[in-house]
């Protein structure tokens, strides 16, 4: 009986250790409030290249705690390995003079470019880039569809704080603490805007109910840091 009790205790202990181990594995990189670190200043484990199996180290590098583009070559977008449906994403971005980039979401890899399926929160130097002249393609915009309102943009060389919320098909773009864009995914209003835009010929644009997060490489220098996300 003593030996039987010891065996049961050992089995229970092993089972408990196994469960704890599983829980630890599932929550790697996730804090108690559900935030997942996509980039903490050093690890690029959460990302790979668009339609690639590995991190595109000829297009992006880690520099002084930031994710930075390497301009001049065939730039590859960064894409999260995981997919997300409803989420809150926060990050900081800094752009070079005349620079252009973007955060693209609910992306799938069915086509050549990430923007063939995913809409974009624009990252831009509004002052020197031509897109800055059109509010619908300026920083913070739902690119080529909805202009940002009540925007406060930091000058080139300073960090901008961005937040993207997608929940129950309601989408919000935030820039430096201000909500600048809000719309309903799949709504008649959005469909009308798409039909009158450059995306009208893209059959899967803004059609996915989940997908990857993309940091766009637009052949210009851009820096990202403190990139984190939580599922809603």
- pLDDT computed for residue 31 by the predictor: 73
Q: Which of 42, 54, 166 is nearest to 104 (CA)?
A: 166
CA distance 116 to 205: 6
Q: What is the pTM of this model?
A: 0.87
Return the CATH architecture of domain 31-231: Sandwich (2.60)
pLDDT digit of tens for each residue in the chain (232 aa)?
444 443 444 344 434 333 333 333 333 467 778 999 999 999 999 999 999 999 999 999 999 999 999 997 789 999 999 999 999 999 999 999 999 999 999 999 999 999 999 999 999 999 999 999 999 999 999 999 999 999 999 999 999 999 999 999 999 999 999 999 999 999 999 999 999 999 999 999 999 999 999 999 999 999 999 999 999 9
CA distance 107 to 205: 9
Task: Pull the structure tokens for residue 121.
Answer: 């929160």
CA distance 185 to 87: 14
- pLDDT computed for residue 15 by the predictor: 40
Domain residues of the chain, as ranges? 1-30, 31-231
């Amino acid at each position: 009986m003593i030996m039987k009790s010891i065996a049961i205790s050992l089995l229970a202990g092993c089972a408990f250790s196994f469960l704890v181990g599983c829980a630890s594995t599932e929550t790697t990189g996730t804090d108690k409030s559900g935030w997942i670190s996509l980039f903490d200043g050093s690890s690029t484990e959460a990302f790979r290249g668009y339609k690639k199996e590995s991190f595109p180290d000829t297009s992006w590098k880690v520099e002084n705690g930031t994710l930075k583009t390497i301009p001049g070559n065939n730039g590859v977008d960064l894409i999260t390995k995981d997919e997300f449906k409803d989420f809150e994403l926060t990050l900081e971005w800094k752009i070079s003079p005349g620079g252009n980039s973007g955060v693209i979401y609910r992306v799938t890899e069915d086509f050549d470019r990430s923007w063939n399926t995913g809409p974009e929160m624009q990252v831009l130097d509004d002052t020197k880039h031509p897109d800055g002249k059109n509010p619908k393609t300026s920083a913070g915009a739902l690119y080529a569809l909805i202009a940002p309102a009540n925007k406060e943009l930091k000058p080139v060389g300073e960090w901008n704080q961005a937040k993207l919320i997608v929940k129950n098909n309601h989408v919000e773009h935030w820039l430096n603490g201000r909500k600048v864009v809000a719309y309903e995914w799949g709504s008649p209003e959005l469909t009308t805007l798409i039909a009158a835009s450059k995306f009208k010929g893209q059959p899967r644009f803004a059609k996915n109910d989940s997908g990857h997060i993309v940091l766009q490489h637009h052949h210009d220098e851009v820096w990202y840091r403190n990139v984190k996300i939580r599922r809603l």
